[in-house]
Chain A
Amino acid sequence: MKHLIQLASRSAWNRRLTLGLTLAAIAFSTLLLLGVERLRQDARENFALSVSGTDLIIGARTSSVQLLLHAIFHIGATTTNMRWSSYQELSTHPLVAWTIPITLGDSFHGYPVLGTTSAYFEHFQYGHKQALQFNTGAPFKQLFEVVLGAQAAAQLQLRVGAQITLQHGSGDLAHAEHADKPFTVTGILAPTGTPVDRTIHIPIEAIEAIHLDWQGGAPIPGVSISPEHVRKFDLTPKTITAILVGLKQRAAVFRMQRWVNTYPADALIGIMPALALDELWQVVSVVERLLLAVSTMVVIVGLIGLLAVILASLNERRRELAILRSVGASPRDLFILLTLEGLGITVVGALSGVALLTLLTISLSPWLQSHYGLVITLRWLNMNEIALVIGIISIGLLASIIPGYRAYRMSLADGLTPRL
């Protein structure tokens, strides 16, 4: 057997150009298949790790997925806001342990701005019930202070004590700035791997303060209120976007949700984050399955390419096979030789694909994290991925049997002298 392996590898090396190309095809198709699976799993994990310990998310009545995406992931927008009076009544409800009011809508160089209270830094949890930690600094106490997420601070190169001005709306437009009211950075959070890293946190009263001399999305001409005078106004918000709620008894969540959904003074919805995430995955699962099917198709195309190359070369190698027969190789040996060649290319291709995946993960993960907030971890192949690689190799093996069988028949028919 060993001599057959040596023979097969020497023979393949002789035709290294064409076989090298098919090896590249198999490597890239394996990379695609494994990469898609890994991205899918990592995206799911990232989403699931973003919220923990929160029993209900309450906001103006909209779909549960939309509220979850907006309140936690800052994707999309809600149609309207909920009243401050609803928040007040909710925070005094006997079943409620803590509440975090949040308001969204402004942005800073593409990073969403979140207006909230100090309860956010006390009660917000992510991952496996982990609380937020500060890398440097402390939570805001004054009106025009801001706390940055780790990613936002690193990308914008801001430190504690820096001054920033916010923009209105969620785009990156240079105009519509609140330039007359600058904010001071008081704290930078430790990295969490969640959308918190890309968020700018300001006190909820500050959202009211910077919009006092605005009307309908633009500053009122001729009116400008300085930061000192702003503090004299009543800055309690009239509307907020959402509330994160923790209950004293987690099993009471259904009753609380019912109370919120039938609250007469405001149109509200209460969602359970885990269930809303499941709904999101149901919607996305069709696309996921489609992606998986396409990747599998690509792998099959790569293997068909391998098959085509080896079969095409078979005709030129009839003399080679005849020489091998004449030095004592049996037709069965030739069968094994050809099969080994195909199998070897497939195995090396699959392993190169895995190596390419590792390389791409190392090089692309910082960019993915900074632009999309998606954390891809470098890790060994799990059982699912190993099963996929074994599947690719076994299909390659089955495909290689075909040229092996043809070589077997050819050498039987040609005998020791091929008729060319």
Chain B
Amino acid sequence: MIRFPLLYRLLQYLLQHLPQYLPQHLLQRLLRRLLRHLLHHLIHHLIHHTKLTRLMLLILCGGLIHVHPGVLINESIAGGRVEYRVGERLAPTKKPSTSAFKDTAWDDLMPKDWNPGKAFNALNLSALDDADPRAAKALSQLQTALDNAPVVSALNGARIRIPGFLVPLENQRGEITEFLLVPYFGACVHTPPPPANQIIHVFPNKPIKNDMMEAVWVSGILETTRSNTGLGAAGYRLKAELVAPYQR
């Protein structure tokens, strides 16, 4: 009987350290099976071979210890659908592209000398109050800089391959004929919008099926567009020849 609490403690230790080495779903299944097996053993032993008071005490302890590993098991991977967190970016690929399209990072779409945050450099943010007008002024300057973000004109006509999150614009008969590509998840809803040189307006040459494909690889010819609005900001357009789902 003494060996059971020890075994549970060993299990907890394993749970904390093994997840790094085993695939998560296998681990979950293994652990659930193990826990169930041990629990049955324990109950059988307790019911048939223990005095009443010791039995009640042990059930109490066992119950508490059993809840703890259950809480540790991570339930976040559901089915096959990958969940992205807000603000998450896509990791660069391990295998580089072998086709005519050059792998491009989102940082390459911003000019190297562009620094929208330079209004903040002059301020000592930790010394400022939240309601300080200098902070508010710097924030609005940042917003204006982001709105007027310049594009890298050298990329006009470049054949690129870039991963990103898909925001549909035209979605008829289950097919998307026009969409926006953004660098991070959740850019479409709640977080501040990405600057104009971090959004690509994509026209796929074949309509793509809308089966909740969120992260995609897009390959095609990039164009830079001149701004025709008084509010500055040019943008990027891409005629996509290939749109493929992004695998983690």
Q: Which A residues contact B (CB, under 8 angstroms)? A: 41, 44-45, 48-49, 52-53, 55, 94-95, 127-129, 248-255, 257-258, 272, 274-275, 277-278
B86 to chain A, nearest CB (A): 15
Q: A44-B174, A48-B173, A278-B168 are in contact. Are A95 and B229 (CB under 8 A)?
A: yes
Q: A250-B169, A274-B168 are in contact. Are A258 and B193 (CB under 8 A)?
A: yes
Q: A94-B230, A278-B168 are in contact. Are A252 and B196 (CB under 8 A)?
A: yes
Contact A252 B235, beta carbon cutoff 8 Å: yes
Contact B174 A249, beta carbon cutoff 8 Å: no
Q: A94-B230, A250-B180 are in contact. Are A274 and B171 (CB under 8 A)?
A: yes
Cα distance A275–B173 when bound, in Å? 15
Q: Can you list 28 A-B pairs, Cβ within 8 angstroms, ordered by A?
A: A48-B171, A48-B173, A49-B172, A52-B170, A52-B172, A94-B229, A94-B230, A128-B177, A248-B228, A249-B201, A249-B225, A249-B233, A250-B169, A250-B201, A251-B235, A251-B236, A252-B229, A253-B180, A255-B147, A257-B193, A258-B192, A272-B188, A274-B168, A275-B167, A275-B168, A275-B188, A275-B189, A278-B171
Q: Mark B168-191, 1 if CB is under 8 A from A, else 0.
A: 111111100110101000011100
Cα distance A272–B230 when bound, in Å? 23
List the 5 shortest-distance A-B pairs measured between CB atoms, nearest first. Answer: A254-B193, A94-B230, A274-B168, A251-B201, A274-B171
B residues in contact with A254, CB < 8 Å:
180, 182, 187-188, 193-194, 199
| B231 within 8 A of partner (CB) | yes
B41 to chain A, nearest CB (A): 37
Interface size on B, residues (CB 8 A): 33
Cα distance A215–B96 when bound, in Å? 69
Contact A274 B169, beta carbon cutoff 8 Å: yes
Contact A249 B170, beta carbon cutoff 8 Å: no
Cα distance A129–B172 when bound, in Å? 10
B175 to chain A, nearest CB (A): 9
Q: Mark B207-234, 1 if CB is under 8 A from A, else 0.
A: 0000010000000000001011111010
Of B167, B168, B173, B196, the residue contacting A49 (CB under 8 A) is B173
A195 to chain B, nearest CB (A): 15
Contact A248 B171, beta carbon cutoff 8 Å: no
B residues in contact with A48, CB < 8 Å:
171-174
A89 to chain B, nearest CB (A): 14
A300 to chain B, nearest CB (A): 24
Contact B187 A250, beta carbon cutoff 8 Å: no
A residues in contact with B236, CB < 8 Å:
251
Contact B167 A128, beta carbon cutoff 8 Å: no
Cα distance A128–B173 when bound, in Å? 9
Q: Give the interface centre of A48, A129, A252, A254 by most chain B CB atoms within 10 Å.
A: A254
Cα distance A49–B172 when bound, in Å? 6
Q: Give the interface centre of B177, B193, B196, B235 by most chain A CB atoms within 10 Å.
A: B193
Q: Give the interface centre of A44, A55, A255 by most chain B CB atoms within 10 Å.
A: A255
Q: A250-B201, A251-B201, A253-B180 are in contact. Are A274 and B170 (CB under 8 A)?
A: yes
Q: A274-B168, A275-B168 are in contact. Are A255 and B193 (CB under 8 A)?
A: yes
Contact B172 A127, beta carbon cutoff 8 Å: yes
Cα distance A100–B182 when bound, in Å? 28
A residues in contact with B201, CB < 8 Å:
249-251
